[in-house]
Amino acid sequence: MKKPTFYVLVGLHGSGKSEMAQELHDKKGAVIFAADAIKKSGDPAASMYEFTDVWRRIKNTLFLGRSVVYCVEDSIYRWHRAQFVGDLFGIFCKTVCVMMATPYDACLARNERRHMPVPVEEIEKQRRSIFIPQQDEGWDEIIIEYTDYDKKKYDIHELFHGVNGICNFDQRNHHRHTLGEHCLLAAQYLEADNPKCSYEVYEAALLHDIGKQYTQTFVDENGVADGKAHYFGHAAVSAYESLFYDSSRFVDVLRRADIIQNHMEPYKWASPSATANLFRQHLDKELVKEIMMLHEADKMAKM
């Protein structure tokens, strides 16, 4: 019997997950288990944590040798995806994660064309929470599917030095340098201290804070305006945006994104938090080393 494939689609609302699910159904014969479809049919909602019936049917479908495509909101979270893969232990199938890399503005535009648009606040919340998929979650393969992506709009020189470039972005109380100056300094410090560092960690230094231009707020976590600049979720936004910036070298963009999305974690590792240190134990040693390289360069660039 041919090995069936278990596909999980990861992406923001409006990123094209439904279209990709239909394509996998048409071309691969995959049975679709999507949150929208399940709700419309009257079945339990998609979360396997709340409605085990859906997960039971997914397993039964794979047992019968048919591929499955799973499209659910929880797939943006690392631990949920790892749970998906872990629950398939012993089942004869290939696991594939499809990352829907659709620019945020395109997601908003596609969402507006929906019959029932999702509130923009919900998409923004996803943007600040999404964790870019990684091999250590247990996948056999990860595919980045670019949708509505115009490479010309993601020019690294324009990012830094354009009219609205981050070299002109004031970080206010956090740094004495502009956002772009800080990122450039972080890359310079990293390369000076680690001349043999990988291209991935060097470029992660250049891009690690680009999400700050989209997340700056002067309201604290309790909703109180305090006049201070806050950047809630900027690491996740930076990692997502990094997917769209090309490199002149052969760079593993998933690895680069992983370093970026974890670059604030060392602050948690320094605390006695059991949860934070458990997360660190799940990361490979080389990744932890690269995250710490960026962390040290990041601190140096603030001086």
Cα distance between residue 158 and residue 167, in whole Å: 10
Cα distance between residue 149 and residue 217, in whole Å: 27
Q: For residue 45, what pLDDT is reported?
A: 44
Range of 40-44, 112-116, 246-250 with top mean pLDDT: 112-116
Report CA-CA distances (Å) from 224 to 214, 220, 233.
19, 5, 18
Say which residue, 253 or 52, is predicted with more confidence: 253
| CATH 1.10.3470 describes domain 152-300 | no
Q: What's the chain's average pLDDT?
A: 90
Under 8 Å between Cβ of 92 and 102? no
Under 8 Å between Cβ of 17 and 99? no
Domain ranges within the chain, ordered by starting residue: 5-146, 152-300
pLDDT (tens digit per residue) in 74-112: 899 999 899 999 999 889 999 999 999 999 999 999 999
Q: For residue 227, what pLDDT is reported?
A: 87
Q: For residue 34, what pLDDT is reported?
A: 79
Three-state secondary-structure class, residue 161: helix
* Six-digit token string for 10: 């990861």
Report CA-CA distances (Å) from 170 to 175, 178, 213, 233, 239.
8, 5, 9, 18, 21
Under 8 Å between Cβ of 40 and 28? no
Confidence of residue 47 (pLDDT cuts 50, 70, 90): very low
Overall average pLDDT of the 41-64 stretch:
69
* Six-digit token string for 241: 């945006």
Cα distance between residue 286 and residue 303, in whole Å: 27
| CATH 3.40.50.300 describes domain 5-146 | yes
Q: For residue 282, what pLDDT is reported?
A: 79
